[in-house]
Amino acid sequence: MQPGKSFQTIGIISRPRRSNLSVVAPPLLKWLEERGVQALYDEETAGSLTGSTKGKTRQQVADASQLLLVLGGDGTLLAAARLAAPRGIPILPINMGSLGFLTSFTLDELYPALEDALGGRFSVSERVMLYVELERGGKVIETQRVLNEAVVNKGALARMIELELSIDGDFVCRYRADGLIVASPTGSTAYSLSAGGPIVHPGVESFIITPICAHMLSDRPLVVRDSSSIQMKLSGNTESVFLTLDGQRGIPLQATDIVRISRSKELLKLIQPPRKSYFEILRNKLKWGEA
């Protein structure tokens, strides 16, 4: 819990083109105004409001906010996480999507959750993020922080790719597969899970390495400590191969490109429902125990 901590400025980041946003946003802004809270909102939220109201860029919203309120699904939260973590501000996630492992508050819980946040009554789960470097020709040409996963994968019509995996400088394996996923514990319930990887509790300090449709059935998921330095290097066919970050950005790769992944210095502060455990969320989302 965070007793005594309150927020005077709340930034709102919304899922684009969400049909019920126009019903949620106006009363939300009025509710915050009545409590003396300054609300900043992005261009997606502004599009759901009447009149000529203009929103700010998401970066501008994050720069000026003490808390980010995310209205959307996990994809919206992943985008917000890259803004919130470097600034050290927490995210309050409200699920307006479908599955929503990360956006664990329901829309019905929006105002009670805000009341608790404004009163300093909330719990924060600190989530490890990945720091990803792309090296080409001996130079780092791209760096990104991601919450769920970094994936080296082939395009839709490309042949199986070949890549070499090393951990802390030690050669591990040469994979022939559709791709390779490196996920955080938070990301273990995302793409890695659909590819056959394990579910890892977010409190376990680890990375999960999961091959996608590996040529050898003996190529299985691997869990390593999150202090490890992971390196993936392309070899063989490099036609239509991409580095995909949190499923939201794809960077075309070239022969001999090297992808390095380590633990980011920044942690994401994610506000959690006080009466829902991690396992309750899993049971509800994955329909465990249902016929």
Whether residue 227 sits in one domain with residue 211: yes
pLDDT surpasses 50 at 235: yes
Mean pLDDT along residues 142-150: 97
* Higher pLDDT among residues 103 and 133, named by residue: 133
pTM for the model: 0.92
Assess contact for 91 and 127: CB atoms under 8 A: no
Residue 2 has pLDDT above 70, yes or no: no
Q: What confidence tens digit (pLDDT) does each residue in 42-83 have?
A: 999 998 888 767 899 999 999 999 999 999 989 999 999 999
Strands (E), the chain: 9-14, 38-41, 67-72, 91-95, 123-136, 139-146, 149-154, 161-167, 170-177, 179-183, 206-212, 222-225, 230-235, 241-245, 249-252, 258-272
Same domain, yes or no, for 204 and 257? yes
Phi, psi of 162 (to 5 degrees): -120, 135
| Residues 101 and 182 placed together within one structural domain of the fold | no
- At residue 273, the pLDDT reads 85
When the pLDDT of each residue in the chain is averaged and rounded to a whole number, the result is 91
238, pLDDT greater than 80: no
- Both 39 and 82 in one domain: the answer is yes
pLDDT given at position 284: 83
Q: In this structure, is residue 3 part of a structural domain? A: no
Q: In what order do the strands lie in the sheet with 206-212?
A: 222-225, 206-212, 179-183, 149-154, 241-245, 249-252
Identify which has the larger pLDDT, 187 or 15: 187
**For helices 21-34 and 110-118, what crossing angle results, to 10°?**
30
Residue 4 has pLDDT above 50, yes or no: no
- Tell me which range, 51-60, 77-86, 95-104, 148-157, is most confidently predicted by mean pLDDT: 77-86
Q: Looking at residue 32, which CATH number applies to its domain?
A: 3.40.50.10330
Identify whether residues 94 and 171 lie together within a single domain: no
Q: Does 93 fall in a domain?
A: yes
State yes or no: pLDDT of 19 exceeds 80: no
**CATH number of the domain where residue 191 is located:** 2.60.200.30
Q: Which carries the bigger pLDDT value, residue 221 or residue 158? A: 221
The whole-number average pLDDT for the span 108-124 is: 93
Over the stretch 185-227, which tens digit does the pLDDT of each residue have?
Answer: 999 999 999 999 999 999 999 999 999 998 888 889 999 999 9
184 lies in a domain?
A: yes
For the chain, the domain total comes to 2
Positions marked active-site: 74
Judge whether 212 and 180 are in contact, CB under 8 Å. Answer: yes
Q: How far apart are CA 285 and CA 291, in angstroms?
A: 14
Q: Is the pLDDT of residue 3 over 50?
A: no
Per-residue DSSP letter, 144 = E
**Higher local confidence (pLDDT), 234 or 41:** 41
Q: Is the same domain home to 153 and 227? A: yes
How many residues does this entry show for the chain?
A: 291
Exposure class string for 134-155: b at 16+ Cβ within 10 A, else e: bbeeeeeeeebbbbbbbbbbbe
pLDDT at 237: 66
Position 291 scores a pLDDT of 58
Question: Worst-scoring range by mean pLDDT, 98-107, 247-256, 262-271?
Answer: 98-107
Domain extent for 157: 129-265
Share of the chain above pLDDT 70, in %: 95
